[in-house]
């Protein structure tokens, strides 16, 4: 597996990041352990989580994904070999400081994540969502203090619009604080505009690594959703606005490109992302080792310039501007 530098940092990470939102939700702990074991055996070293995973599930208090990863790290006994990224922001306790990007929330949230992960440092600590409950200067100072205390190695952000990301980089430069090395945006072949319109150029110019989530759009880009096929899924309800003729035609094209290579729609969709110049490592979750094998197979796919041009045209968002 060929590792990639993450932004302007010394971190070298696998080109596929293992997402863990499903741990403790659609994948129980034994299943999660098998997936992580298989990922590690394939050379993977980059695991992403968040403190709120998966608090929306009945009976899940949040922090369950972090705890599962922490148990796995302890069992393996080689914490130093893995890059663990987690996120803070979401509501994790009652009271006015139970969520957000204030110093009061982030310092406690980071300590709680460290405890659940069973580690004394977090490789990348990320702000989960933009929030105006605290000045950005306060947020960046709190994150810088976590780095200086040795609790966090690097900091990143998620879901930030370009103007806020640019402002945070300016604050870090002005105040001599640690800067964001990564952005975690939603980005896929059927969700290109939000990232490409502004953030892509900013990340390339400023050396911010990009680790997009939902690169398969909650399963839509695996090819299991077709014009006449809508499988039952806990995520299907949130995908209905992707059920368009343009997107179905895109799936048909991905299958046409995949078939002679003996690959899958999933692998072609991920291979397209991997050849984008701003992308470091898409974040992809797996509920089984078989799903993980399909995902990692994307690393062996080489798209031709003609393939890329066809996919670019079929998924072009500018034609609808």
Distance, CA of 124 to chain centre: 12
CB-based contacts of 178, cutoff 8 Å, min separation 6: 143, 144, 147, 148, 154, 155, 172
- Active site residue ranges: 53
The reported pLDDT for the residue numbered 244 is: 87
Q: What is the pLDDT along the chain (321 residues), one digit of tens a residue?
A: 899 999 999 999 999 999 999 999 999 999 999 999 999 999 999 999 999 998 999 988 999 999 999 999 999 999 999 999 999 999 999 999 999 999 999 999 999 999 999 999 999 999 999 998 999 999 999 999 999 999 999 999 999 999 999 999 999 999 999 999 999 999 999 999 999 999 999 999 999 999 999 999 989 999 888 777 766 665 666 788 888 899 999 999 999 999 999 999 999 999 999 999 999 999 999 999 999 999 999 999 999 999 999 999 999 987 655
CB atoms within 10 A of CB 247: 20
Count Cβ neighbours within 10 Å for each residue of 278-300 and write b for 16 or more, e otherwise. Answer: bbbbbbbbbbeeebbebbbbbbe
The reported pLDDT for the residue numbered 181 is: 98
The reported pLDDT for the residue numbered 134 is: 95
* C-alpha span between 35 and 176 (Å, rounded): 40
CB atoms within 10 A of CB 61: 11
The reported pLDDT for the residue numbered 118 is: 98
Q: What is the pTM of this model?
A: 0.95
Is residue 153 a contact partner of residue 124, using CB atoms and an 8 Å limit?
Answer: yes
* DSSP category for residue 149: T
CB-based contacts of 63, cutoff 8 Å, min separation 6: 51, 52, 53, 92, 112, 113, 116
The reported pLDDT for the residue numbered 236 is: 64
* C-alpha span between 53 and 24 (Å, rounded): 8
Between strands 4-5 and 12-13, the pairing is antiparallel
What is the residue whose two structure tokens read 């980089």?
169
* C-alpha span between 312 and 189 (Å, rounded): 8
Is residue 64 a contact partner of residue 92, using CB atoms and an 8 Å limit?
Answer: no
**Structural domains of the chain in order of their starting residue, each with its CATH number:** 4-218+277-301 (3.20.20.100)
The reported pLDDT for the residue numbered 225 is: 80
Is residue 117 a contact partner of residue 71, using CB atoms and an 8 Å limit?
Answer: no
- The C-alpha torsion from 220 through 223 and 224 to 227, rounded to 10°, is 90
Distance, CA of 151 to chain centre: 21
Backbone angles phi, psi at 311, to 5 degrees: -65, -40
Count Cβ neighbours within 10 Å for each residue of 219-239 and write b for 16 or more, e otherwise. Answer: bbbbbebeeeeeeeeeebeeb
């Amino acid at each position: 597996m060929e590792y990639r530098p993450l932004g302007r940092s010394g971190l070298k990470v696998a080109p596929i990041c293992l997402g863990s939102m499903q741990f403790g939700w659609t994948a129980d702990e034994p299943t999660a352990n098998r997936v992580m074991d298989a990922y590690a055996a394939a050379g993977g070293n980059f695991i992403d989580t968040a403190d709120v995973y998966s608090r929306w599930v009945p009976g899940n208090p949040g922090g369950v994904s972090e705890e599962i990863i922490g148990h796995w790290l302890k069992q393996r006994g080689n914490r130093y070999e893995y890059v663990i990224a987690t996120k803070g922001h979401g509501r994790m306790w009652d009271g006015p400081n139970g969520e957000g990007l204030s110093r009061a929330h982030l310092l406690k949230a980071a300590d709680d994540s460290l405890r659940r992960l069973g580690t004394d440092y977090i490789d990348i600590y990320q702000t989960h969502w933009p929030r105006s409950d605290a000045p950005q200067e306060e947020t960046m100072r709190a994150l810088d203090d976590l780095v200086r205390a040795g609790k966090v190695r690097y900091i990143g952000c998620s879901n930030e619009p370009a103007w806020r990301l640019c402002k945070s980089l300016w604050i870090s430069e002005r105040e001599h604080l640690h800067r964001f090395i990564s952005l975690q945006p939603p980005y896929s072949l059927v969700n290109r505009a939000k990232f490409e319109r502004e953030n892509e150029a900013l990340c390339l110019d400023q050396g911010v690594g990009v680790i997009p989530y939902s690169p398969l759009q909650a399963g839509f880009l695996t090819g299991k959703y077709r014009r006449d096929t809508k499988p039952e899924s806990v995520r299907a309800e949130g995908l209905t606005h992707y059920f368009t003729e343009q997107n179905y035609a895109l799936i048909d094209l991905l299958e046409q490109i995949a078939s002679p290579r003996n690959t899958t729609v999933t692998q072609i969709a991920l291979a397209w992302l991997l050849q984008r110049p701003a992308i470091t490592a898409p974040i992809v979750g797996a509920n089984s080792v078989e799903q993980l094998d399909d995902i990692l197979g994307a690393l062996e796919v080489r798209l031709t310039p003609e393939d890329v041009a066809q996919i670019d045209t079929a998924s072009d968002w500018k034609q609808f501007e």
